[in-house]
Amino acid sequence: MEKGVLLESLGEIDLPFIHVKDTENERFLLYKNEGKFVRELVENDWIKNLFKIQTYKLRQKNIANLNRMFGKEPCEEISFCEMLLGKSFYIFHDFLGLTFCIIEFPSKNILIIAGAYQSESSEEIATFKNEEFLKLMKLSKQFPKKNLYFTETIYHALHHQVIHCLFSKNERELMEIVAFLKKDFSIHHSLSELAEKFTLTERTIQRRFQMILNMSFTEFYHILKMQYARKLLMRKHYTIEEISAQTGYGTVSSFLNAFKRFYGYTPR
């Protein structure tokens, strides 16, 4: 049902191409290419390999995020957690000066590759003599030329549209809560504060976390803070006192104890 709504919605979007793949069955659900020049480009082996590489990079970022959070290999039980904490959306530029986006939600077995717009700053490499490359350059010049702000706006709108189609109202509300929590960790947000802000009851919020993520609000909020603390530590620009304050802990000792309980060692 969710995928049917998604395909119907994406079929109406005015983009040169949109490819939607079911990653569980490894088959395309939508393979929309507007125009012969688009088909020639996206079905070229160089471009296909580019898509594979960029998809791999997106997935590696997700795995790295989870490993940093949990200190272990990710497991299936936290696939929705991966979507909330990891990276499901990626904009990239290719060697032809075209801008694409990749959207993937592992919990829904959906991968989307969409594009493409020609960057206004892209310039043809006249000295490059490879025949295949020159052919691709010629094809790329037929894509619409847009500035980066316009392109990113279109891709972000596509990302939000995909979320709206694939995820339930309860899941989307949970995403909004998590996005709010991640804005500023130096301020500790209570459950009652969240309930008032999002016009939900405390019990409803607790149930959403438990039913969708299989963990309590407190557990999830703690994961967010520990992930952020470790990120700051890795940058090596902050003292323990500064990190403690930026993650919303009242004292350094309470931060150190929380960090050690979570990761098994004291931050240095």
Give residue-wise pLDDT tens across range 198-212: 999 999 999 999 998
Which residues does residue 17 pair with via DSSP β-bridges, in sequence order? 33, 115
- What is the Cβ-side half-sphere exposure of residue 46, based on CA atoms within 13 angstroms? 13
Start-to-end C-alpha separation, the chain = 49
CATH of domain 171-263: 1.10.10.60
Work out the pLDDT band at 127, boundaries 50, 70, 90: low
Sorted by where each begins, the domain ranges of the chain are: 2-167, 171-263
Ramachandran class of 77: left when φ > 0, alpha when ψ lies in -120 to 50, beta otherwise: alpha
Work out the pLDDT band at 78, boundaries 50, 70, 90: very low
| 2-167 and 171-263, same CATH topology | no
DSSP H or E run through 178:
helix 169-181
Question: How far lies 54's CA from each of 48, 92, 94, 152, in Å?
Answer: 10, 8, 10, 17
Query: Which fold does the domain 2-167 belong to in CATH?
Result: Beta-Lactamase (3.30.450)
pTM over 0.85: no
Own/partner long-range contacts of 172-177 (Cβ < 8 Å, ≥24 apart): 173/198, 173/200, 173/208, 174/84, 174/208, 174/209, 174/212, 174/213, 175/84, 177/205, 177/208
Residue 250 has a pLDDT of: 83
